[in-house]
Structure 1
Amino acid sequence: MTRPSYPDKPRPGDRIAVISPSSGLPGILPLPYELGLRRLRDEFGLEVVEYPTTRTMGSTPAERAVDIHAAFADPEIKAVIASIGGDDQITVLPHLDRELLRANPKPFFGYSDNTNLLALLRNLGIVGYHGGSVMVELGRPGAMHPLTADSLRAALFTRGAYELTPAKETDHVNRRWEDPRTFDSEPEMRPADDWVWHNADRVVEGPGWGGNLEILGWLLMADREVRPVGDYAGSVLFLETSEEMPSADEVYRILRNMGERGLLQQFPALIMGRAKCWSFAQPLGAEEGDRYRAEQRQAVLRALSEYAPDTMAVLDVDLGHTDPQVVIPYGGNIRVDGTAHRIVVTY
């Protein structure tokens, strides 16, 4: 499989599209959305362009596809960023004009359910960016986290190597977006554990593939945007789990089934995101959250031991549904240096 190429980057002053390929949450939760838009304008210097479904809950997959096409086809739009994720972007994929997207490559930023579009773009030969959303990272209460802002700014505007830095703190308890008081101060943080290295005795370098684990499971079940397993040989797998907080058993089963397919063993290195361990549906205490993360790490290592025992792994990396968050190039180069305990991505 040919490595995807990097689309041209925007510059301050350029126009950037904000779309909602999954959920139209900006329409019912405007506070973090409007804050994120202000930061795109004031802190990143970009002109924001919205589309008909960006603030529309319940828009059809075909309507959302029209907005994706419009954003990519407009030569004045220099990058595209998702407002937030959701749970049905897989239904948008059949409506997309792949030749239109291939002919108009642009940096696309998103994660979670946006794993669908990132995987499609990679299959079209376009590097995307797993991370950064308007409502979450840009709309963070109080201020953007410096680690998040630095990574997102580098991914948006620069080309070349960028070394990921382990976070010294991480979020735990969230606050309601409906309440204006939520945005008066930054989230409460707690000390973050360092990355966990496994089989760290070599250097692996290759194009990144992966995304949100639950969404990848759905893509595999629907046989969408997943290429023959051999096409991933030598790539770097990166994964993360969502705020729905799948159990350790479920994480193991998804990875097991990837192993049964012959997919898991194609990757000489795995980067696993720091697990989200609190939600309004599962408000775990600090000790319970630590236990949840530990059980997920054990599940990942169990699957690797059974299907890919030689794979190098780095766990608790700050990607995906975590705060702070670093951006991972989807299809772009990732260098995992086990001997030096360093991860360098190419934006």
Structure 2
Amino acid sequence: MGTLSYPPKARPGDRVAVVSPSAGLPALFPHVYELGLRRLREEFGLEPVEYPTTRATGANPRERARDLTAAFADPGITAVLATVGGDDLITVTPHLDDEVLRANPKPYFGYSDNTNMLNHLYRLGLVAYHGGSVLVHLGRPGSPHPLTFASLRAALFTSDWYELTPARQWGDRPNPWTEPDTLADEPEMLPGEGWRWQGPQRVVQGPTWGGCLEILHWLMATDRVPTVAELAGSVLIVETSNELPGAKEVFRIVRNMGERGLLAAFGAIVVGRPKAWDFDKPLSVPERRAWGEAQRDAILRAVTAYHPDAVVVFDVDFGHTDPQLIIPYGGEMRVDAVGRRIAVRY
């Protein structure tokens, strides 16, 4: 693939696009959304600009693609932030005007279903950013999480190397958006236990690729992933969603990546802390710990079969848990298994 291009950075005072390419949840949860917008203004000094589908439910893929393209085309917009994830952005990316995106590179922030957009920009040669959700993270109940906001601030405004930090406390049980009063309450947090390292003691540095594991399976099914040659020397970043895929499904997806030859392309594999609680699956804390162990074992079993020499790091705080560290997508990551440190270049 070669070296991808980092888009120019935003500065405090700039106008930034706020879009809903996956799901128009701001229409359903305006109290959460407005909190996210307020923090975008007050904490980051940025002025959000909305589009016709930002607060619309049921917008079709062409309409959402139109808004995404317009956000990149506008010379007064310096970054693009997704409000939340969803489940059908894979139907939106074919309608984007790629010439406009290439000619007007801008930092794009999103995760979960936004893996579709991150991968699309990657294939256009542009670095994007895995993480950042106006509803989930900017609209976090109680107070902003300092690790999330420090990482997002660095990713938005700086271009330097940034050391990632293991969270001392983490959570995967959000407050219900259907109850506005809970916005004042801090979410449940659990003690952090640091990152878990497997594999050889060496330093791996390279561009990242990956995202939400279930979305990567969709992208493989539609043949929209880079080739093994294009990914050679990269760092794989993967995390699982709030749909809580079981260990068997996780194993099969990673195994299928191995069968495709993708796993062998990566010198290191960085795995996000698995989310193990959802409203329709309210697991106890011991059950959540067991869920995480089963998922780690499943990934390690597949990696051992297809790429036993890879450096593997588990429980890094990015993806669907709280806090959420921002990871450059297609940008540089350094995974130091000797010093047990991870740094990214924003």
Cα offsets for 1:14-73 (capped at 9, x unmatched) = 000000010000001111111000000111100110000000010000000010011000
Does the Cα contact within 8 Å between 1:200 and 1:341 map onto a contact in 2? no
Equivalent residue letter for 1:58: G
Task: For residue 170 of structure 2, give the secondary structure of its aligned residue in structure 1.
Answer: strand
Give, in whole Å, the separation in 2 of the partners of 1:334 and 1:74: 30
The 5 Å alignment of 1:1-347 reads: 1-224=1-224, 226-347=225-346
Give, in whole Å, the separation in 1 of the partners of 2:232 and 2:172: 36
Equivalent residue letter for 2:234: S
Equivalent residue letter for 2:226: R
Equivalent residue letter for 2:311: M
Give, in whole Å, the separation in 2 of the partners of 1:345 and 1:227: 21
Equivalent residue letter for 1:88: D
Equivalent residue letter for 1:235: S
Equivalent residue letter for 2:272: G
Cα offsets for 1:89-119 (capped at 9, x unmatched) = 0000110111110000000000000000101
Cα offsets for 1:229-254 (capped at 9, x unmatched) = 11111000000000000000100000
Equivalent residue letter for 2:150: D
Does the Cα contact within 8 Å between 1:210 and 1:238 map onto a contact in 2? yes
Cα offsets for 1:102-137 (capped at 9, x unmatched) = 000000000000000101111111110000110001
Cα offsets for 1:243-277 (capped at 9, x unmatched) = 00000010000000010011111101000000001
Superposed displacement of residue 172, structure 1: 3.7
TM-score by length of 1: 0.99
Give, in whole Å, the separation in 2 of the partners of 1:47 and 1:65: 22
Give, in whole Å, the separation in 1 of the partners of 2:271 and 2:177: 28
Task: For residue 44 of structure 2, give the secondary structure of its aligned residue in structure 1.
Answer: coil
Does the Cα contact within 8 Å between 1:199 and 1:312 map onto a contact in 2? yes
Give, in whole Å, the separation in 1 of the partners of 2:175 and 2:43: 24
Task: For residue 52 of structure 1, give the secondary structure of its aligned residue in structure 2.
Answer: coil
Give, in whole Å, the separation in 2 of the partners of 1:173 and 1:100: 39
Task: For residue 231 of structure 1, give the secondary structure of its aligned residue in structure 2.
Answer: helix
Give, in whole Å, the separation in 2 of the partners of 1:13 and 1:79: 12
Superposed displacement of residue 183, structure 1: 0.7
Give, in whole Å, the separation in 2 of the partners of 1:75 and 1:130: 23
Cα offsets for 1:270-299 (capped at 9, x unmatched) = 000000010011100000000000000000
Unaligned runs of 5+ in 1: none
Give, in whole Å, the separation in 1 of the partners of 2:338 and 2:91: 42
RMSD: 0.7
Give, in whole Å, the separation in 2 of the partners of 1:47 and 1:170: 29
Give, in whole Å, the separation in 2 of the partners of 1:313 and 1:115: 21
Give, in whole Å, the separation in 2 of the partners of 1:200 and 1:245: 30
Superposed displacement of residue 143, structure 1: 1.1
Greater than 4 Å deviation, 4+ residue runs: none
Equivalent residue letter for 2:229: G
Cα offsets for 1:313-336 (capped at 9, x unmatched) = 000000100100100000000000
Give, in whole Å, the separation in 2 of the partners of 1:94 and 1:13: 33
Unaligned runs of 5+ in 2: none
Give, in whole Å, the separation in 2 of the partners of 1:174 and 1:153: 23
Equivalent residue letter for 1:274: R
What's the % identity of the aligned pairs? 61
Does the Cα contact within 8 Å between 1:229 and 1:263 map onto a contact in 2? yes
Does the Cα contact within 8 Å between 1:31 and 1:178 map onto a contact in 2? no
Give, in whole Å, the separation in 1 of the partners of 2:41 and 2:314: 34
Give, in whole Å, the separation in 1 of the partners of 2:2 and 2:230: 9
Superposed displacement of residue 11, structure 1: 0.5
Give, in whole Å, the separation in 2 of the partners of 1:299 and 1:320: 18
Give, in whole Å, the separation in 1 of the partners of 2:29 and 2:264: 41
Equivalent residue letter for 2:136: V
Superposed displacement of residue 200, structure 1: 4.1
Cα offsets for 1:194-221 (capped at 9, x unmatched) = 1000014000000000000000000101
TM-score by length of 2: 0.99
Give, in whole Å, the separation in 2 of the partners of 1:24 and 1:193: 35
Equivalent residue letter for 1:161: W
